[in-house]
Amino acid sequence: MPILSLTTFLPLLGGILILFIPKERKDAIRWVGVGSTVAAFLASVYALTLFDPGLASPAPLTLQMVEKLSWIPSFGIHYFMGVDGLSLPIVLLTTLLSMAAAIYSMNIEERVKEYYFWFLLLEVGMTGVFCALDMFLFYVFWEITLVPMYFLIGIWGGPKKEYAAIKFFLFTLFGSVFMLLGMLALYFASNPHTFDMVELARSHAVFGREFQIIVFLAFYLGFAVKVPAFPFHTWLPLAHVEAPTGVSVLLAGVLLKMGVYGLLRVCYVILPAGFEWFLPFLVIIAFINIVYGALCAMAQTDMKKMVAYSSINHMGYALLGMAAISPTGFNGAAMQMITHGLITGALFILVGVIYDRAHTRDISAFGGLGAKVPVYAGIMSLTCFASLGLPGLAGFVSEFLCFLGAFPAWKLYTALSVSGILITAAFFLRMLQKVFMGPLNEKWAGLGDMNARELVSVLPLTVLTIFLGLWPRLILDIMNPTLTAMTKLFPSLFQSVR
């Protein structure tokens, strides 16, 4: 059974089905939409049961559940799907977050049919990116995410939605144009010409150092915009603030991971010399992301913008772990992608919950809600603590591994980056204090606690956040063999950072 294709395209099936439902039947559309995300999630869980983590080897890529069909033979383009310990967890994250966001989005009333159609198409693109192993296919999926996202922000977004949507679109397009150039360069430099990532990884030795550096930079532009790495991050706070809740969840939870994933999957494996050349810059960018992102978050009064800037900070940890080129750091970076997806996804849902009721996200507009909405306060506090890296919750392990891995290679920058932890704690606690503590702001005396739809969408994320914090091997056992094998690909690179 082509399980990866099934995971990827089940939402498309749902999307097509939705096209045949009259637009007045909103509930039917919603349930078909949610049902397709559930089906995709179940398919990905089935893929997990088929996966054997131990199969990883130091060969460039050891892939499982491979599907390879000739697609455009004249250019050697294949429909080539497969997963390893790096991509499978992100596929699961994608389907899980899509499900949570689809459930949360059931409160959308405006143009429901189009919403769910674009939403499901977006899921197809996101899942595909992490499964695709042919550069061309990768690019197609990559670009598929762009158009639905443009419409989802531009139609269902906030007051400045058009500006936010076009900015997101152009920014990403700017990046992917360079990525396209990089792809073409790789294609023509390889002999025989190929888009096959595995083949390209095998033949990286024939690429000269200068060539690798230039092509690396082209890819880096594409990926850095997504991560987002300083200074290509300014689309993110805007897009997050304007996007509807469900879309913010996917934007932060999954789309940012496309950048980090791309750096590991494409840049590191295919262009090691370029990667090595860039490392000193990467670690500085990671440091800026961590400290600058955290400080910018501290300056926010809008909860959603604060969480958005905190994503820049958290992705900085992943970049730092990546810059370590050690099994510890790679594990940290890969796990950080998952934990950030879970935690920040939940945070965006929770910010949405209060915005739906109060129609404001201004931190100082509230006060004393703790006694009024205890369930919400409890889940929100827990998620904030997870985001600030409290031990026992998922974020701690991944951040700790990023730091632990990076420290031997980059002592100064890692030690300085640790201050990001303090700043993160400061702004999250300040928010908790202003929103939940102090005397009750009488304006919100009628505020209701979380309803079933909201709880169903957020609780899986909360439970996983706790579970991964207590038992990180649940995910590390899947990732560790692949990532350890990856660091063994280039022993010289591993040595050079020390």
Partner 1 sequence: MIKHVHWIALLPLIASVVILLGSRDNTEKSRLPLLGVAVMGWCLLHSLLILAGVLSGRAEVPFYRTLPWFEFGGFEMTLGVLIDGTAAFMLVVVTLVSFLVQVYSLGYMHADPRFKRYFAYLSFFSASMLGLVISSNLMALFACWELVGVSSYLLIGFWFEGDAPAYAGKKAFITTKLGDLGFFVGLLLLFAYAQTFDLKMLPLHFQMGPGHMPAWVPTAVGVLLLCGAAGKSAQVPLFVWLPDAMEGPTPVSALIHAATMVAAGVYLVARTYFIYQAAPMALEAVAWVGLITAALAATMAVAAYDIKRVLAFSTVSQLGFMMLGLGVGGYTSGLFHLTTHGCFKALLFLCAGSVIHAVHTNDMRQMGGLSKKMPETFITMLIGAFAIAGFPFLSGWFSKEAILHDVYRFSPAMWCAALATAALTAFYMFRLVFLTFLGISRDHPRWEHAGESPPVMTVPLWILAALSIFAGLALEHNGIFAGAVCFGPAAAAEGAEAVAHAPNWLAWGAVGAFALGLAAAWRLYGTGDLSLASSLKRSLAGVFDILEDRYGFDRFFLALVRASDSLAAALYWFDSNIIDAIFVDGWALATRALAEVQRFFDDFFVDGAVDGVGALTRDGGLGLSRLMAGKVQEYLLFVALAVSLFATFIMTR
By CB under 8 A, tell whether 155 contacts partner 1.
Answer: no
Of 394, 405, 392, which is closest to residue 336 (Cα–Cα)? 394
Cα atoms in the 13 Å half-sphere on the side-chain side of 139: 21
Residues 398-427, interacting with partner 1 (CB under 8 A): 400-401, 403-405, 407-408, 411, 414-415, 418-419, 421-423, 425-426
Both tokens of residue 77?
């383009």
Contact yes or no for 405/332 (Cβ under 8 A): yes
d(CA 266, CA 199): 12
- Interface with partner 1 (CB under 8 A), residue from 299, 356, 364, 496: 299
By CB under 8 A, tell whether 235 contacts partner 1.
Answer: yes
Q: Which stretch binds partner 1 (CB under 8 A): 46-54, 142-150, 216-224, 240-248?
A: 142-150
Both tokens of residue 225?
């915009």
- In this complex, which beta carbon is closest to partner 1, that of residue 90 or of residue 435? 435
Both tokens of residue 96?
């899980």
- Interface with partner 1 (CB under 8 A), residue from 332, 345, 395, 460: 332
By CB under 8 A, tell whether 358 contacts partner 1.
Answer: no
- Interface with partner 1 (CB under 8 A), residue from 296, 363, 458, 489: 296
By CB under 8 A, tell whether 385 contacts partner 1.
Answer: yes
d(CA 144, CA 136): 12
Residues 168-197, interacting with partner 1 (CB under 8 A): 169-171, 173, 180, 184
**CB of 106: closest distance to partner 1 in angstroms?**
26
- Interface with partner 1 (CB under 8 A), residue from 440, 455, 456, 459: 440
Q: How many residues bind partner 1 (CB under 8 A)?
A: 74
**CB of 255: closest distance to partner 1 in angstroms?**
17
d(CA 439, CA 353): 21
Residues 450-489, interacting with partner 1 (CB under 8 A): 471-473, 476-477, 480, 483-484, 487
Residues 65-124, interacting with partner 1 (CB under 8 A): 74-75
Pure H helices in 232-271: 235-242, 245-250, 256-262, 269-270
**CB of 34: closest distance to partner 1 in angstroms?**
27
Contact yes or no for 381/436 (Cβ under 8 A): yes
By CB under 8 A, tell whether 58 contacts partner 1.
Answer: no
d(CA 179, CA 272): 17
- Interface with partner 1 (CB under 8 A), residue from 69, 166, 206, 463: 166
Q: Which stretch binds partner 1 (CB under 8 A): 48-56, 88-96, 164-172, 445-453?
A: 164-172
- Interface with partner 1 (CB under 8 A), residue from 150, 216, 287, 366: 150
- In this complex, which beta carbon is closest to partner 1, that of residue 131 or of residue 179? 179
Return the amino acid letter for 252: A
| Residue 272 burial (CB count, 10 A) | 22
By CB under 8 A, tell whether 143 contacts partner 1.
Answer: yes
Q: Which stretch binds partner 1 (CB under 8 A): 54-62, 83-91, 356-364, 391-399?
A: 391-399
By CB under 8 A, tell whether 280 contacts partner 1.
Answer: no
By CB under 8 A, tell whether 157 contacts partner 1.
Answer: no
Helix (H, G, I), strand (E, B) or coil at 134: strand
Residue keyed to tokens 């932890």 = 421
Helix (H, G, I), strand (E, B) or coil at 77: strand
Largest Cα span, the chain: 71
Of 93, 148, 150, which is closest to residue 344 (Cα–Cα)? 93
Q: Could you tell me how many residues make up the chain? A: 498
Q: Which stretch binds partner 1 (CB under 8 A): 242-250, 252-260, 276-284, 296-304?
A: 296-304
**CB of 165: closest distance to partner 1 in angstroms?**
8
- For residue 42, count CB atoms less than 10 angstroms from its CB and return exposed for 0-12, middle for 13-18, buried for 19 or more: middle
Q: Which stretch binds partner 1 (CB under 8 A): 24-32, 143-151, 340-348, 457-465?
A: 143-151
Residue keyed to tokens 């899921």 = 123
d(CA 313, CA 316): 5
